[in-house]
């Protein structure tokens, strides 16, 4: 069936969105940030029209009687001859210049060779020249899982839950896929009884994360699954590595454990393993371990520039993974440092990382741009729990427009150079981008 797309003179840069379920039977069009649309589809059988929540209108035909003048029946030659003879047909008059408000000073126009506002004067112009695009495909959805069957809310992260790995998780993934988010990253809440100083549960092949990966791949074979490679959810000390009796985080011994964890996750079906521990040399060791076990196809997203940030608090509540003592400043980066991120970038690239990640996101836009300008690898940004919770709190208190600030913050991460964004807003943002009513 031939269709004509009409959008009421509002520009639409629409892209196909994978993952819509068959019951919706929509066409898979979504709007860019900043525009809301409605879409309508004409049935293949008859002239009935089905409406979906958005502003993009899809019609099989468009009546034009009220848009054009009545045809005279003259040939092209006759029309040309009339114009040559000075009998050009009438057209609407030139619009009058709008009047300025009373009291506006009368001045001579500024002599400007360039006026950038000319390219911003209408929605059509702004859309045509928009440099940065945001779509659900750019989003990775972090999901918290636990052994229980009920979903439990996370107090410091409104709208986020510890999801039951067999029930709530499946429903949340299905919702995300319906609006084009097909990448997730898993974070487990591990029972205290399974935690130990060496974090051995991290590489239990029947542990929570490997079990969950296998189940998700069984139900959604094309789902892209990222995993977290670090010991803190499994450590009785709450640190990302093995802690010596004097409080020192042991580097090489921790890397040994991380390699076993990454291989266990790859064996379960993970697409991307993501070392977030910040141990030296772990990317190269994990790459070698994966290749040796036949997992050369599994990617590594390295937390290249992970800072010892105060923005992680709500996340640690979600996983109950606060350090039992001290802090993480001996292995995570100093927030005051900029050039040090280049050292980490060079090391991770040389060791075989496939994706480089900056964490946190919005407060570290300069670091995202630094990595973008100095590496050809894809760059990821993590909009962390503290960023999420602040936007949520501001929205609840009516201090900001939550939806607009959410979308703007994600667009800024993209503008700074992030190819993908790990964000707890993934589902909410994708629904907005697709014009779905909340």
Q: What is the share, in percent, of the chain residues with pLDDT greater than 90?
A: 76
Q: Which residues pair with 355 in a beta bridge?
A: 301
Question: 136-355: what fold?
Answer: TIM Barrel (3.20.20)
Instruction: For residues 256-267, give the mean pLDDT.
Output: 98
SS3 for 217?
A: helix
Is 306 a catalytic site residue?
Answer: yes
Mean pLDDT for all residues in the chain: 86
Instruction: For residues 129-155, give the mean pLDDT.
Output: 95
**pLDDT per residue over 184-223, tens digit each?**
999 999 999 999 999 999 999 999 999 999 999 999 999 9
Catalytic residue among 359, 392, 404, 437: 359
Q: What is the pLDDT of residue 3?
A: 40
pLDDT at 61 over 60: no
How far is 9 from 118, CA to CA, in rounded Å? 18
Contact 198, 155 (CB under 8 A): no
pLDDT at 41 over 70: no
Q: Which residues pair with 5 in a beta bridge?
A: 58
Catalytic residue among 189, 195, 306, 392: 306
- Residue 319: pLDDT band by 50, 70, 90 thresholds? low
- DSSP H/E element including 383: strand 379-383
Give me the numbers of helices (H) and strands (E) for the chain, helices first please: 12, 18
How far is 424 from 409, CA to CA, in rounded Å? 12
Q: What is the pLDDT of residue 321?
A: 62
Is 63 a catalytic site residue?
Answer: no
What ranges do the domains of the chain cover? 136-355
Full DSSP string of 79-116: HHHHHHTT-PPP-PPPPPPPPPPTT----PPP--S--G
**pLDDT per residue over 218-229, tens digit each?**
999 999 999 999
Contact 308, 316 (CB under 8 A): no
Contact 309, 384 (CB under 8 A): yes
- Residue 249: pLDDT band by 50, 70, 90 thresholds? very high
Residue 236 gets which letter from DSSP? T
Full DSSP string of 344-411: HHHHHHHHT-SEEEEESSGGGHHHHHHHHHH-SS-EEEEE-HHHHHHHHHHHHTTSS-HHHHHHHHHH
- Residue 12: pLDDT band by 50, 70, 90 thresholds? very low
Q: Which residues pair with 142 in a beta bridge?
A: 185
Instruction: For residues 345-353, give the mean pLDDT.
Output: 98
pLDDT at 35 over 70: no
pLDDT at 55 over 50: no
Count of other CB atoms within 10 angstroms of residue 255: 22
């Amino acid at each position: 069936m031939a269709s004509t797309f009409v959008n009421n003179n509002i520009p639409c840069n629409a892209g196909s969105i994978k993952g819509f379920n068959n019951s919706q039977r929509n066409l898979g069009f979504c709007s860019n940030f900043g525009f809301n649309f409605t879409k309508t589809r004409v049935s293949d059988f008859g002239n009935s029209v089905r409406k979906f929540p958005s502003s993009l209108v899809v019609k099989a035909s468009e009546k034009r009687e009220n848009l054009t003048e009545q045809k005279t029946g003259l040939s092209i030659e006759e029309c040309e001859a009339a114009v040559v003879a000075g009998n050009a047909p009438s057209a609407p008059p030139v619009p009058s210049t709008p009047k300025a408000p009373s009291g506006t000073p009368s001045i001579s126009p500024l002599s400007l060779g360039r006026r950038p506002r000319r390219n911003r004067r209408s929605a059509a112009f702004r859309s045509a020249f928009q440099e940065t695009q945001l779509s659900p495909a750019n989003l990775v959805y972090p999901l918290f899982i636990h052994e229980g069957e009920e979903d439990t809310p996370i107090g410091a992260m409104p709208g986020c839950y510890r999801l039951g790995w067999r029930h709530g998780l499946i429903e949340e993934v299905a919702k995300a896929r319906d609006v084009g988010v097909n990448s997730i990253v898993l974070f487990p809440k591990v029972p205290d009884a399974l935690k130990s100083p060496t974090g051995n549960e991290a590489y239990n092949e029947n542990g929570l994360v490997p079990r969950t990966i296998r189940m998700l791949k069984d139900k959604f074979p094309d789902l892209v699954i990222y995993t977290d490679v670090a010991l803190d959810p499994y450590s009785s000390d709450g640190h990302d590595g093995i802690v010596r009796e004097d409080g020192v985080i042991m580097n090489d011994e921790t890397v040994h454990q991380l390699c076993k964890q990454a291989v266990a996750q790859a064996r379960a079906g993970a697409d991307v393993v993501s070392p977030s521990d910040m141990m030296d040399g772990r990317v190269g060791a994990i790459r070698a371990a994966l290749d040796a076990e036949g997992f050369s196809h599994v990617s590594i997203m390295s937390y290249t520039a992970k800072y010892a940030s105060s923005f992680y608090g709500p996340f640690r509540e979600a996983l109950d993974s606060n350090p039992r003592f001290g802090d993480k400043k001996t292995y995570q980066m100093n927030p005051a440092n900029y050039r040090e991120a280049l050292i980490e970038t060079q090391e991770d690239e040389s060791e075989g990382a496939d994706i480089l990640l900056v964490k946190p996101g919005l407060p570290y836009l300069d670091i995202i741009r630094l990595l973008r300008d100095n590496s050809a690898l894809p760059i990821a940004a993590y909009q962390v729990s503290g960023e999420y919770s602040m936007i949520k709190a501001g929205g609840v208190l009516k201090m900001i427009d939550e939806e607009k600030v959410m979308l703007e913050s994600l667009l800024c991460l993209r503008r700074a150079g992030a190819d993908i964004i790990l964000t707890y807003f993934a589902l909410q943002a994708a629904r907005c981008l697709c014009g779905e009513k909340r």
